[in-house]
C-alpha cells in the first residue's frame, strides 16, 4: 500500500522559536514558555469541550524537516538510536506529537505550555489525554 495521504492543517502554532537551535528538544524541557495554537474558525465547535488546565496531545507537521536518517543521536547529542525510538523531527513522515497543558482559551486561540514547536508549525489534530 503506497498511496499518498494528504492532510489539511486545522490551524498553526505561534511560538517564540524561529529555528531548532534555540528550541527545547521536548515539552518537559520547555519550562514555563507559552505559545498559542490558532485554530481555523471552522473548527470552533470541535473546541467546545476543551478546558483550561487540562492536557492534550497535539499532532503537527514538522514543516522545516528535510530527509531523514534511520539512526540518529538521541535528543540531538545522546547515544545513537533507531529513528523510531526518538522524537527526531526528520522522519519518513514528518509528523510530531507533543503533550501540552492549556493555560487559556479565547475564541479560536489556545494558549499553552509545553511548546517544543517552531513558529508557523501546522497543527494536524488535537486529542484529549484520557
Sketch out the chain's domains with CATH numbers.
Answer: 11-128 (2.40.30.70)
Instruction: Kindly write down the DSSP assignment for every residue of the chain, as one continuous string.
Output: ---------SEEEE-S-SSTTSS-SSSGGGTT-EEEEEE-GGGGGGGTT--TT-EEEEEEE-TT-----SEEEGGGTSSEEEGGGS--S--SS-EEEEEEEEEEEETTEEEEE---S-TTPEEEEEEE--
Amino acid 36: pLDDT: 97
Mean pLDDT, rounded, for 6-22: 89
In this model, does residue 24 exceed pLDDT 60?
no
Query: How far does Cα 82 stand from its chain's mean position?
Result: 21
Amino acid 27: pLDDT: 60
Amino acid 23: pLDDT: 61
What pTM was estimated for this model as a whole?
0.87
Amino acid 128: pLDDT: 94
* pLDDT tens sequence across 39-92: 999 999 999 999 999 999 999 998 988 888 899 888 767 889 998 888 888 888
Amino acid at each position: 500500500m503506497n498511496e499518498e495521504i494528504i492532510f489539511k492543517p486545522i490551524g498553526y502554532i505561534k511560538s517564540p522559536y524561529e529555528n531548532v537551535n534555540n528550541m527545547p528538544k521536548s515539552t518537559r524541557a520547555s519550562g514555563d514558555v507559552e505559545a498559542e495554537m490558532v485554530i481555523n474558525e471552522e473548527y470552533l465547535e470541535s473546541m467546545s469541550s476543551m478546558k483550561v488546565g487540562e492536557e492534550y496531545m497535539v499532532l503537527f507537521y514538522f514543516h522545516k524537516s528535510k530527509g531523514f536518517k534511520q539512526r540518529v543521536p538521541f535528543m540531538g547529542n545522546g547515544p545513537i538510536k533507531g529513528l523510531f525510538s526518538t522524537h527526531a523531527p526528520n522522519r519518513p513522515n514528518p509528523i510530531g506529537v507533543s503533550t501540552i497543558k492549556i493555560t487559556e482559551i479565547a475564541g479560536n486561540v489556545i494558549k499553552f505550555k509545553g511548546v517544543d514547536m517552531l513558529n508557523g508549525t501546522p497543527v494536524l489534530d488535537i486529542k484529549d489525554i484520557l
